[in-house]
Amino acid sequence: MDTLPVSVLTGASTGMGFEILAELVRRGYRVAALTRSPELLDAKLLGKALADRVEVHAVDLRSRDSIDRAVERILHNCGRIDALINNAGYGLVSTLEEVEDREMIEQFEINLFGLVRVTRAVLPAMRDRREGVIVNISSFLGRVGLPLLSFYNASKYAVEGITDSLRMELAPFGIRVHSVMPGFFSTQFARSNLRLNASIGDGDSPYAPLVETLLSRVQGEINGGDDPRLVALAVAELLENPDAPVRVPVGRMARKFLSMRRELEDREYERRVREYYGI
Instruction: Give the separation between CA 12 and CA 56, rounded to whole angstroms.
Output: 9
Q: 177-190 in b/e burial notation, b at 16+ Cβ within 10 A?
A: bbbbbbbbbebbbb
Q: 199-232 in b/e burial notation, b at 16+ Cβ within 10 A?
A: bbeeeebebeeebeebbeebbebbeebbebebbb
Instruction: Give the separation between CA 128 and CA 43, rounded to whole angstroms.
Output: 35
Sign of the four-CA dihedral 164, 168, 170, 175? positive
Q: How many CB atoms lie within 10 A of CB 270?
A: 13
Residues constituting the chain: 279
Q: Annotated active-site positions, please? A: 152
Instruction: Give the separation between CA 107 and CA 129, rounded to whole angstroms.
Output: 33
Backbone angles phi, psi at 197, to 5 degrees: -60, 145
Q: Is 48 buried (19+), middle (13-18) or exposed (0-12) by CB count in 10 A?
A: exposed
Radius of gyration (Cα) for the chain, nearest Å? 19
Instruction: Give the separation between CA 26 and CA 32, rounded to whole angstroms.
Output: 14
